[in-house]
Structure 1
Amino acid sequence: MNTKAIYAACLFAALNICTLSARAEADVAPKTYTYGTQLDIKKVVSLTEDTAPSCGVVNARLTYLDSQSKTQALDYRKLADNCNSEN
Structure 2
Amino acid sequence: MKKFLFLTLSLTASLSAHAQPSTAPAEVVSYAYGMHLDIAQVLNITTPADVCGPTPVQMTYRDSQGETNVLEYSLIGNGCTN
TM-score by length of 1: 0.60
Q: Which residue of 1 aligns with 2:43?
A: 45
Q: Which residue of 2 aligns with 1:64?
A: 61
For residues 33 and 76 of structure 1, what CA distance do their matches in structure 2 show?
5
State how many pairs are aligned: 65
d(CA) in 1 for partners of 2:54, 2:33: 17
Aligned: 1:79 with 2:67: no
Greater CA radius of gyration, 1 or 2? 2
2:3 aligns with none
Q: 2:57, 2:74 → 1: CA distance?
A: 6
SS at match of 2:66: coil
Q: Which amino acid letter does the alignment assign opposite residue 41 of structure 2?
A: K
Q: Which amino acid aligns with 2:77?
A: A
- 1:32 matched to 2:30? The reply is yes
2:48–2:75 contact (8 Å) kept in structure 1: no
Q: TM-score, normalised by structure 2?
A: 0.64
Question: Within 2, Cα distance between the matches of 1:81 and 1:42?
Answer: 27
Q: Which has the higher helix share?
A: 1
**Structure 2 unaligned regions, length at least 5:** 1-14
Contact 1:59–1:75 (CA under 8 A) maintained in structure 2:
yes
One-letter code of the match for 1:45?
L
Letter in 2 for 1:48: T
Are the aligned partners of 2:49 and 2:79 in contact in 1 as well (CA < 8 Å)?
no
Ranges of 4+ aligned residues in structure 1 off by more than 4 Å: none
